[in-house]
Amino acid sequence: MFNQLQGNHAFVLENNVVRKGKHSAKLVWKHREPATFNGDKQKIDNVDRKAMFHGYKTQKVMGAEAWYGFSFYFPSEGTKNEPNDWLFFQIHGSADKRLQEHSRNPPFSITLTENGLRGSWKWDPDEKSLTRTGKGTQQYTIPGDKSTYLDRWVDFVVHVRVDYSEKKTGFIELWIDNKKVLDKHNIQFGYNDDKGIYPSWGMYFNGDLSVMKNDHYLYLDEIKMTDDINATYQDVAPSL
Counting beta carbons within 10 angstroms of the beta carbon of residue 223, is it exposed (0 to 12), middle (13 to 18) or buried (19 or more)?
middle
Q: Give the separation between CA 33 and CA 40, rounded to whole angstroms.
A: 12
- CB-CB contact of 155 with 177 (8 Å): yes
**What structural domains does the chain harbor?**
54-236 (2.60.120.200)
pLDDT at 50: 80
Whole-model pTM over 0.75: yes
Give the torsion sign (CA, 48, 76, 116, 23): positive
Question: What would the pLDDT profile of 190-229 be if each residue is shown by its tens digit?
Answer: 999 999 999 999 998 887 788 788 888 999 999 999 999 9
Q: pLDDT grade, residue 2 (50/70/90)?
A: confident
pLDDT at 5: 87
Q: Spell out the alpha helix ranges (H) of 189-240.
A: 233-236
pLDDT at 136: 96
The secondary structure of residue 163, as a DSSP letter, is B
pLDDT at 31: 83
Mean of per-residue pLDDT scores for the chain:
92
Question: What would the pLDDT profile of 29-79 be if each residue is shown by its tens digit?
Answer: 888 887 777 777 777 777 788 889 999 999 999 999 999 999 999 998 866
pLDDT at 80: 64
pLDDT at 168: 97
CB-based contacts of 91, cutoff 8 Å, min separation 6 = 66, 68, 106, 107, 108, 109, 158, 160, 197, 198, 199, 200
- Least Cα distance to 115 among 87, 146, 78 occurs for 146
Counting beta carbons within 10 angstroms of the beta carbon of residue 206, is it exposed (0 to 12), middle (13 to 18) or buried (19 or more)?
exposed
